[in-house]
Structure 1
Amino acid sequence: MKKRSGISLMLLFLGATLFSGCKETQPTEPEVKPATASPAQAFLETLAPVFGKTAKDIKPLAFSGVWIDGELNGYVLRNDALASTENIWDKIEQTFEGWVEKIQADGVGESYVEYLNDTLICSVSTKLNYDMDEVMNLVYLGEENAAKKQEATEKLDKIYDESTRTIEVHCGEFTENQPSPLEFNFDLFGEEPFWDASLRVDSFTYTLPNNETHAFETDNTYIGYWGTSGKNLIFSGEKYDLGVIEGELTKEACLDTTVGETHPYEARISFGDGTFEGCADKADDFLVPGRQGKLENLLKKINYKDYTGKLNPKTASYGGIQAEGNLVEVFLTQPGSEQTEYLVLGKTDKGRETYWQGTTPVDDATCEKYVNVPRLMDFGIFSSCPRG
């Protein structure tokens, strides 16, 4: 047998040493990062425990509706076994505090509401799970006998108390190409129809001259479509006497030649036989009709610290918002009480100015004090002030 050289033996020894120190290498699993929940999904995850569910109960489901052009990415949360005696309305009210309520429909044992806030839209539908035929027979019982009517009422109460309730919360997400209607909140300027005109989500208010009286008359129409064309916002509606109304807003500096003021948006409106051009300012997206919630939160949101009314801000509710230029009017209520108030504010370089806190009508002294505030005498409850 041939003897190995010293170098050959050293290499064999080194190789054996290296291999003896090696272990079988297992492939490492790539780190899987949890997927970031979409805004709609994240909102429903916080809501799930309120209605006795968990995040696992949330399912993907596209959102469509009267406010939507096409479909939105969406998710749904549903519970079919809530006790009918459980007060879910307080929970719903707390959940959507500060949102804009735009659609509400009720039936026998059923309800449907749509809410908007920022880039989300959510529908909340509820219904009692009972035999509809039995209930309708009791509801529309044509019995004149008082005892039998009372018996039917008691049967209905029992059905309502013993039935379970279904609640479904369905949320969708607006996108840059499918903008929220809340983005369509503008004050318009220029010659008619832009004189004293505004776009408030689903309502377009404009002025036109009356050919007989030669005075300007204010009118409005419902807007039912919101979208984009390139970088421009577009909207449309229909008026029985004008036909289709179409509008477009472009973010370009615009000079209102009627008063020589510059605004950040150009506006173009088409209806009847004409197309009209004017200017526009973006209005406050928070102060839109349909938004409602706790007074305390409203005061914080608009940075108003001078409320001295009779209602308790922690428990009082706000709604009935009207906003026009620098003016805003809010209707306030106190739950469990018949007390109500109106809050009318202006916005100046120094902050919010109070024009009225209290019930209606506005007293003559206040009317006289603020008679020279631009547009105030034609706004909200101040429109009842006497004219000199």
Structure 2
Amino acid sequence: MTTNPTVFTFADSTDLILEIPSTTLSNLESQFSHPYSRYQAYLNELCLNAVLPWLQEDFSLQAKLWPSSASLASFWELVNGTAVIVDATRFILVPSENIDHSELRVPQEWVDLPTWAGDYYLAVEVAADAGYVKVWGYCTHAQLKNQGKYDAGDRTYCLDEHDIVNDMSVLAVARDLCPDEVTQAAIIPVPTLPQEQAQNLITRLSNPEIINPRLAIPFQLWGGLIEHGGWRQSLYERRLRLPEQRSALQWLRTGVSQIAEAVGWERLNLQLSAASARSVEGRQPKIILSRRLTIAGQLYELLITPQGEPDTPFWRFELRNATVGAAIPGGFKLRLLTEDLQPFPNNEDIATTAVEQLYVEVALEAGEGIVWEIEPLPENYDREIIKF
């Protein structure tokens, strides 16, 4: 995506009007379960394509999507809005076709889920036919919580135009002059859902006839479900009637699914060396699963390898530096959790000093899922569930 956005000046001098680039939109037809979510995604993509280059130009070239472009469809299927990270600051883009700027309406998920909440919320009018978007104001998370009104009907926080900063030039000045401004109010975390309850909710909400699943169950349940990246992805894929996309066994047999490839997974065939094989005739290629990760500016590899005998298999999760001969710094952690994020014995390996590798081995029942975590957090990390 290019920077140097086109900025129009034919409106009020405080308006920020950005041209929608003539880039080809994604194939939205096959990525969403219903015309409602498809159109929601269309508006969000137009908004993002116009506003992200402006953020990169005016704030930081490193401005990037959260968590990643590969995750956007699973967000837009369920909730309006997009998160962009600028250095350590999170902007939430809230698009609408409404030309009435009397209020900003922000979905509750972007306000009340700790891992989703932003620092600044940008009100964006999308004029698709005219080829531009108007960023007509912004507010902080603290303003939404302290001055906004909660509308239980559509689960949004509504802030009156009089409480919104309409001059977008003020935003850059405020960030420069007040870098320590408290932008976020306190958030009470939603409860963690038991796995069985989460699976029941996914089964229920996967029916694409439920046009707006975010309003179909109480927010405490809904928030606990979709704040978990693995469950959010699972709900999205089930609504599209896709087969299981993250089965390690299936990846080893027939190749990595397209969705898994999009986030970086690949299937590798490694020929065993003569020293590790009993004979030339017995030498067999070893199949492993690999994902490249960027952590603190360096490339690493997360490997999943089947171990043991066919009748008593177990699995090895291993983290290595992608540079041959380079180590993993002290302080790094590799951790495995159950689907509902519970620890278990020997589920973590910690580098107390620089080491060649970190690994955790685990035996799993058929159909069990594992969530992997690494500290420090990899770039574009979105929690996922690998099935076995």
Q: TM-score, normalised by structure 1?
A: 0.22
Return the structure number with greater helix share: 2
Which one has a bigger Cα radius of gyration?
1
* Larger relative contact order (Cα-Cα within 8 Å, sequence gap ≥ 6): 2
